[in-house]
Amino acid sequence: MKVAFVAFDFGEYCARLASGIADAKDTKVLMFLSQEEATPYLHLISDSVERRIFVKPRIRQFFQQLKMVFSLVTQIRAFDPDVIHLQLGHMWFNLLALPFLRKYPLVLTVHDSLIHVGDKSTAKTPQWVYDLACFRARERIVHAPQVKELLVKRLGIPADTVQVIPYVIVGDVDVTIGEDVMEEPLVLFFGRIWPYKGLDYLIRAEPLITSKVPEAKIVIAGTGEDFEKYRRLMVNPDKFIVINEFVSDEKRAELFRRASLVVLPYIEASQSFIISIAYRFGKPVVATTVGGLPEMVDDGRTGFLVPPRDIDALAGAVVRLMQDDVLRKRFGDNGMQKVNVECAPEVVGRQTRVVYRRAINDSPVKEYGVGKQSSSASSS
């Protein structure tokens, strides 16, 4: 089976997933990955994956985009794959390349059913352009049942063409950061900072947390929207460590090792690779009951789930873990076991190859529309 694996984003995720897919001897993977995403993670890509690294122009650079699309289409056709696996997509690739690749079965990974509120980077490509690729695909992959349910309901596509496969493990625990990095009483919020992440609720919970655990500090690491509005919410600024910049893999490893636990106070979500990283480093998670997060957090086993926007519940869960070293260690160990068993690249790769075979053996679909109908289209 020959797979053309195409991605413009999600560098670490793609490097690990493509390697897991190529784990089978009967599968040949040719990965197309943008240079900015590939460069930090080339060491993670298996030697069994053939790679083609390309430059991704800015969205508004139309002629450069045309050149990129023409090159990708030419190379994919020369490879003549049995299936194309596209990660989310890209404005000009979806619009200009997919019509010229219709002879090849398409599998699309849909990371989010809808663009999240305030996510300006993803919104550079309109939702309807992402949807075009979703209609064009024979099979779709999502990472949580909740995302499948929303996608099927919103687009009216057959439920049996949407497969739920876990988010492949990310987070490199082998990064060298020094032997003196030890766990500290730090509560870590990590990742892109957009309104749907609910960071304001964690900031408001700080006085409740530090009144019970005076030595605790909240670490906020990541970039996104203007951070000043969050600074204005801080009652005790000295209780925060703010790293409002791009975080390298080395710094990320240090932060996760130093943290006692990881918090995701999201008010909206599909899934989150942050949970996978936390588990990789043996850290428990406090997350909200939105989107696919409950699928990733085993409440009372790998962390705690709390209602979104509930500051008291959020603070209470954080305090409970901060005050109980034994519980925190047990939850962290359970999370590490969960991610290593369920989300290992070879495990996710094997499940993904099954989807490829479904797409290859499936009947054709109409261009930019669903060709076959299913009575299960309205169910999950």
Give residue 117's pLDDT. Answer: 62
Beta-strand runs (E) in the chain: 2-7, 28-34, 49-54, 83-87, 106-109, 139-142, 162-164, 186-190, 217-221, 240-243, 261-264, 285-288, 303-306
**372 has pLDDT over 60:** no
Q: Which residue has the tokens 């990472």?
A: 143
Condensed to tens digits (0 to 9), the pLDDT of residues 251-285 reads 999 999 999 999 999 998 877 889 999 999 999 99
Average pLDDT on 343-358 reads 95
Over residues 61-93, the pLDDT tens digits come to 889 999 999 999 999 999 999 999 999 888 899
- 48: Cβ–Cβ under 8 A, 6 or more apart, which residues? 19, 22, 23, 29
Query: What is the residue-averaged pLDDT of the chain?
Result: 89
8 A C-beta contact, residue 260 and residue 328? yes
Angle, alpha carbons 260-186-189 (nearest 5°): 95
Q: Please give the domain boundaries of the chain with CATH numbers for all domains.
A: 2-168+344-361 (3.40.50.2000), 186-342 (3.40.50.2000)
In tens, the pLDDT along 17-40 reads 999 999 999 999 999 999 999 998
Helices 199-212 and 311-323: angle between axes, nearest 10 degrees = 50
pTM for this entry: 0.81
The rounded radius of gyration (Å) of the Cα atoms in the chain is 21
Cα(74)–Cα(234) distance, integer angstroms: 53
- Per-residue model confidence (pLDDT) at position 375: 35
Task: List % helix, strand, coil for the chain (3-state, nearest 5).
Answer: 45, 15, 40
CB 27 within 8 A of CB 50: no
pLDDT of residue 61: 86
Q: Is a pLDDT exceeding 90 seen at residue 128?
A: no
Task: Supply φ then ψ for residue 280, to 5 degrees.
Answer: -60, -35
Distance CA 70, CA 150 (A): 34
Q: Which segments of 202-355 are extended strands (E)?
A: 217-221, 240-243, 261-264, 285-288, 303-306
Q: What does the pLDDT look like over 172-204, one tens digit per residue?
A: 766 555 556 789 999 999 998 999 999 999 999
The burial of 277, by beta-carbon neighbours within 10 Å (0-12 exposed, 13-18 middle, 19 or more buried), is given as buried
Whole-number pLDDT of residue 170? 84
